[in-house]
Amino acid sequence: EAQVTQNPRYLITVTGKKLTVTCSQNMNHEYMSWYRQDPGLGLRQIYYSMNVEVTDKGDVPEGYKVSRKEKRNFPLILESPSPNQTSLYFCASSLSRDRGHEQYFGPGTRLTVT
């Protein structure tokens, strides 16, 4: 089954404790992206990657890191999480860098930072 998977689905952590949210897709997609969803703000793009070893900032990159060492994986790293990073996070992928392609979304990761 074609899908985007994220782990963990739920995470409660404390301020300053480094964490990684994994994202993997099995569709051989070139483009991958991370978003955060907050009430009243919709989805905001954190980082995106157009291919292996090619990443760039979205609109809200502060406090996050990403890497794209393999085509299928695009982990999101929070080096020192803070309470304002409490949010619902989505990973997405699309076929290519052509911006006409729709995105496929993972099920989401709900992160709480205390």
Partner 1 sequence: AQSVAQPEDQVNVAEGNPLTVKCTYSVSGNPYLFWYVQYPNRGLQFLLKYITGDNLVKGSYGFEAEFNKSQTSFHLKKPSALVSDSALYFCAVGRGTSGTYKYIFGTGTRLKVLA
CB of 85 to partner 1, least distance (A): 19
User: With respect to partner 1, which residue has the nearer C-beta, 78 or 92?
Assistant: 92
User: With respect to partner 1, which residue has the nearer C-beta, 18 or 107?
Assistant: 107
Q: CB atoms < 10 A from the CB of 43, how many?
A: 15
Instruction: Extract the tokens encoding 11.
Output: 């995470």
Q: What's the CA gap between 113 and 94, in Å, rounded?
A: 30
Residues that bind partner 1 (CB under 8 A): 4, 33, 35, 40-45, 48, 50, 56, 58-59, 90, 92, 97, 99-100, 102-108
